[in-house]
Amino acid sequence: MRYTHLGRTGLLVPRLCLGTMNFGPQTEEADAYAIMDAALEAGLTFFDTANVYGGWGDKPERHAGWTEEIIGRWFALGGGRREKVVLATKFYNPMSNPLDGPNDVRGNSAYKMRRAVEDSLGRLRTDHIELYQMHHVDPHAPWDEIWDAYQDLIAAGKVVYAGASNFGGRHICWAQEAARQRHFLGLVSEQHQYSLLKRQPELEVLPAALAEGLGVIPWSPLAAGLLGGHALDGKGGERSSSAAKTLSDSARSALERFHQLAAEAGESPANLALAWTLANPAVTAPIIGPRTVEQLTESLRVPEIELSTDLLAALDEVFPGPGTPGTGADPASQTATAPWAYSW
């Protein structure tokens, strides 16, 4: 496994991040344990989760916090599991339905952050979180409030680094300027949706992250499975199969050409799509969400894949970047209207 620094920090993380959103709802607990054990054995020590994971859907056993609980029970097995993992989790969304009081709403208030971190620590059966991320922007919480709360948690040893998710470039810059004014490190990472089918972050988010020293952690780098290789043949997962039904003829043609490029390169479509994200200098590690150990094993060689200039150019032709002449992209709005674009 290859490693790199997370943004401008001294923390080393692998070039892949293990996403755990499937743990519980789609991946049985025993299978989740096997995936995490295999990840550790391979040196994939960067795990990402969120306090709300496990709480979506109509299964009666589903509840917010389920995924964190599974990870916590795995940590409790010992064997150095917790010590080897760089753990990232997120907060922002409501955790109860009905709401547990008026402050159990969406947001990044100091009140919510302090409650959320204690709850996550309990579910995860740990005393600290390496990367504590705001899941979304909160326009109602001023940066003085947010940074006060983060600095208290860091001073108490409960959090090591602050991260963001789904922030715009301007939000990154505002956050970092407020942090600089108090001589605080501020954000070290931005978790953002980024893939060959979702290139709008190249307009604003990725340049801002590079300028401010944040590592970018792409989520959905396979575009909900559309880039995974089986969406067009109906053998993919529920999300990719559903998304594939909405594709236009031009989008389907682009994916078919993408599969052809992957075959010519001797790579699976999924690995090619992941390697493409890693080719961007702003990217630290894309999030992979394997449902089986076999899927995990297949992804482990991605950091070793070197994409040629010709292949990168061919991918740009199939999936033009935002602002490319003729795509109809509007840099001011970050909205791509190219015929292949799939907004998700």
- Residues 313-321 have a mean pLDDT of 96
What does the block give as tokens for 152?
A: 């208290």
pLDDT tens per residue across span 109-159: 999 999 999 999 999 999 999 999 999 999 999 999 999 999 999 999 999
Cα separation, 129 vs 319, whole angstroms: 37
**Helix spans in 156-186 (H):** 169-181
Residue 241, pLDDT score: 59
Does 288 fall in a domain?
yes
pLDDT band for 331, please (50, 70, 90 cuts). Answer: very low
pLDDT above 90 coverage of the chain, percent: 80
Beta strands in 106-242 (DSSP E): 129-134, 159-165, 187-193, 215-219
User: Dihedral through CA 148, CA 150, CA 151, CA 155, nearest 10?
Assistant: 140
Which residue segment(s) compose the domain that 292 sits in? 3-225+269-307
Residue 190, pLDDT score: 98
Cα separation, 162 vs 171, whole angstroms: 14
Does 341 fall in a domain?
no
Residue 329 contacts residue 322 (beta carbons within 8 Å): yes
- Angle (nearest 5°) at CA 192 between 239 and 50: 70
- Greatest pairwise CA separation for the chain in angstroms: 57
How many Cα atoms are found within 13 Å in the side-chain-facing hemisphere of 250?
10
List Cα–Cα distances, 6 to 51, 62, 109, 213, 319, in angstroms.
Answer: 22, 32, 25, 9, 28
Does 208 fall in a domain?
yes
pLDDT tens per residue across span 8-18: 999 999 999 99
In angstroms, what is the C-alpha Rg of the chain?
A: 20
Q: Which residue has the tokens 């990840």?
A: 39
pTM value is 0.90
Does 316 fall in a domain?
no
Q: Side chain identity at 310, as an amino acid letter?
A: D
Give catalytic status of residue 161 as yes or no: no
SS3 (DSSP) at 119: helix
For residue 234, pLDDT over 90 is answered with no
Q: Side chain identity at 120, as an amino acid letter?
A: S
3, 33, 53, 111: the catalytic one is 53
Q: What is the mean pLDDT of the chain?
A: 91
- In the chain, the number of structural domains is 1
Does 283 fall in a domain?
yes
Does 42 fall in a domain?
yes
Cα separation, 29 vs 259, whole angstroms: 33
SS3 (DSSP) at 41: helix
Does 244 fall in a domain?
no
Residue 36 contacts residue 84 (beta carbons within 8 Å): no
pLDDT tens per residue across span 23-44: 999 999 999 999 999 999 999 9
Does 344 fall in a domain?
no
Nearest to 204 by CA among 167, 247, 240: 167
Number of Cβ within a 10 Å radius of residue 271: 21
DSSP code at position 288? E
List Cα–Cα distances, 327 to 76, 316, 330, in angstroms.
Answer: 51, 11, 9
Q: Which residue has the tokens 């001011």?
A: 332
Q: Which residue has the higher pLDDT, 61 or 6?
A: 6
pLDDT tens per residue across span 263-309: 999 999 999 999 999 999 999 999 999 999 999 999 999 999 999 99
Q: Residue 293 belongs to a domain with what CATH number? A: 3.20.20.100
Residue 221 contacts residue 194 (beta carbons within 8 Å): yes
Q: Which residue has the tokens 């049985």?
A: 28
Nearest to 205 by CA among 221, 194, 220, 197: 194
User: Dihedral through CA 14, CA 19, CA 20, CA 21, nearest 10?
Assistant: 170
Do β-strands 187-193 and 17-19 pair in parallel, antiparallel, or remain unpaired?
unpaired
